[in-house]
Structure 1
Amino acid sequence: MKEDKTTLFLYKTFIGRIILKIITLRLISKIIGLFLSTRLSKFIISIIIKKNNIDMSEYVETKYKSFNDFFTRNIKQEKRNIELNKNILISPCDANLSVYRINKDNKFYIKGSSYSINELLKDNISKDYLNGYICIFRLCVDNYHHYCYIDNGYKSANNYIQGILHTVRPIALKKYNIYHQNSREWSILHTENFGDVIQIEIGALLVGKIVNHHSNYQFKKGEEKGYFEYGGSTICLLFKKNTIRIEDDILNNTKNDIETTVKYGERIGKKIS
């Protein structure tokens, strides 16, 4: 994947890393987040649309009050079809997807780096997901940043883990273990068809907020769970062993270090009967 010049500068130069260290301080990130919620940030909207070739015809037409208002824009309902068959596993969001087995050492691999599920969750529940799957959905700036529930069921309380915000773009993986340094929020989805699924939302560079609508809540498949404010962000879904079968093309792409582009509500696998 080709990286933009700004990301290359921040991660590949000495001065860039100094700037990166400053802007990822929580206070600075909060100030930037506040600015992006003001009318003064509106000028950024046209720049982002043009740079990322965003098709605005997919979104509800409105006058945006700020950049964050634009970033959290609502998509037209007919532009995303939710697969409601109870046996079908859907993507919770628009993203680039990779899927890995969770091995006996509680490690999974992204772009050649290994990560501990236990460190990601900071909870011993991670051992229950050995030999299951972790689905990693990486959202880009041009994606729709709302996400939905993958099934009917009941959601536990949200568990928030504070971290230092860093970009999820691939170049960052060469220098940082991003999931150790990112703020994240996770909960258990007690689903009707896929067992107890852990969903983790992970913040990234300049993301001031992960917005989850519910805590201890009875949910429906396709219902909106929440959204991210500005930044490229990530969602992880953890499944226990023998609960799902992932589509072959997604698994084959992951083996070849290729992410699969998926849409909100699209089929990515099915229940193991």
Structure 2
Amino acid sequence: MIKTRNGDIIVTNENQNKLLKKLYGSVLGRVLLKTLTAPVISRAAGIFMDSKASKLLIKPFIKRSGIDTSQYIMRDFRSYNDFFTRRVIPEKRPVDYEPSHLISPCDSKLTVHKISKNSIFRIKGSRYRVSDLLKNDFLAKRFCGGYCLIFRLEVDDYHRYCYIDNGTKTENTYIAGELHTVNPIALERYNIYKRNCREYTVLHTENFGDVVQVEVGAMMVGRIVNNDDTASFLRGEEKGRFEFGGSTIVMLFGKDSVRIDEDILRNSAEDIETVVKYGEKIGKTGE
């Protein structure tokens, strides 16, 4: 289930869910997935989505997904990917600049999980370890007792993301892998965040201490585009973008570094995702 911040329930795409159940719930479907999730397939799809021919997909996609184009800077896009990474009108995504407020880095569906001392937690029934996500045991142990925030983007979401605070960052670390959908149906059968390609960095923030941000690729998403390597940054400044498809951002916060808003914690405890927007307050600094 998905809820907005005011408690409204969002109905999910039933046709998409039926297709995913067939893919992930049958032997034939899983054989097909071995082909669909290969990085070479994603790269081929990416080449097409960068081509002029892909422009034909834009209008049908807008209509099918019900995208509110008044939210975005619309122009003569060169390709589908050019449209997919379209920029939002800044006034439509105001950034909360209060230093003590934790903001969402993106438009997404958010769930929050406490990181246990053995660093194992569940997302939609799928178990995984923080150390598996990062492939770095030493770094993973630093976030014991903190929070893991899962921001799941769907294809109709704004696919650019920002920095959550002022600070500096380490270099980006890329981990290769297969590309799976991040739809919850897939999470019932696969440890998606261990299998997918991903890229992470450590953010040394002014108000929340050290934070790890991980961008996770999804099925048919071969490109995670981060703007900076080692750099300083400002709250609300664009960090990067995903090209073509649904994707996920995972953020790890240390113990007592943040207090997540109660509605998000309550929804997460009931296995409900909360709709959040780029730059919106989702918590405060810890005590």
The interval holding the TM-score normalised by the smaller chain is over 0.9
Match status 1:12 vs 2:25: yes
d(CA) in 2 for partners of 1:2 and 1:104?
Answer: 37
RMSD value, Cα: 1.1
Give the CA deviation at 1:12.
Answer: 3.0
Give secondary structure in 1 for the equivalent of 2:213: strand
Match of 1:242 in 2: 256
Unaligned ranges ≥5, structure 2: 1-11
Give secondary structure in 2 for the equivalent of 1:62: coil
Cα deviation, 1:150-207, whole Å, max 9, x if unaligned, reads 0000011000000011110011112211011100000000000000000000000000
Cα deviation, 1:70-101, whole Å, max 9, x if unaligned, reads 11001111100100000000000000000010
Q: Is the 8 A contact 2:224 2:243 kept in 1?
A: yes
Q: Which one of the candidate residues 150, 159, 165 is aligned to 1:136? A: 150
Match status 1:114 vs 2:127: yes
Runs of at least 4 residues off by over 4 Å: none
Give the CA deviation at 1:2.
Answer: 4.7
Match of 1:32 in 2: 45
* AA at the equivalent of 1:95: S
TM-score of the two chains, using structure 1 as the length reference: 0.97
Give the CA deviation at 1:6.
Answer: 3.3
Q: Which one of the candidate residues 200, 221, 226 is aligned to 1:186? A: 200
Match of 1:271 in 2: 285
Q: Is the 8 A contact 2:126 2:190 kept in 1?
A: no
Give the CA deviation at 1:246.
Answer: 0.4
TM-score of the two chains, using structure 2 as the length reference: 0.92
Q: Percent of pairs identical after alignment?
A: 52
Give secondary structure in 1 for the equivalent of 2:75: coil
Q: Which one of the candidate residues 23, 33, 36 is aligned to 1:23? A: 36
Cα deviation, 1:200-231, whole Å, max 9, x if unaligned, reads 00000000200000011010000000000011
d(CA) in 2 for partners of 1:168 and 1:257?
Answer: 16
Q: Which one of the candidate residues 52, 67, 76 is aligned to 2:80? A: 67
d(CA) in 1 for partners of 2:64 and 2:25?
Answer: 22
Listed as ranges, the matches of 1:62-101 within 5 Å are 62-101=75-114
Deviates more, 1:117-126 or 1:171-180: 171-180
d(CA) in 1 for partners of 2:84 and 2:157?
Answer: 9
Give secondary structure in 1 for the equivalent of 2:86: coil
Cα deviation, 1:40-59, whole Å, max 9, x if unaligned, reads 11121122211211001110
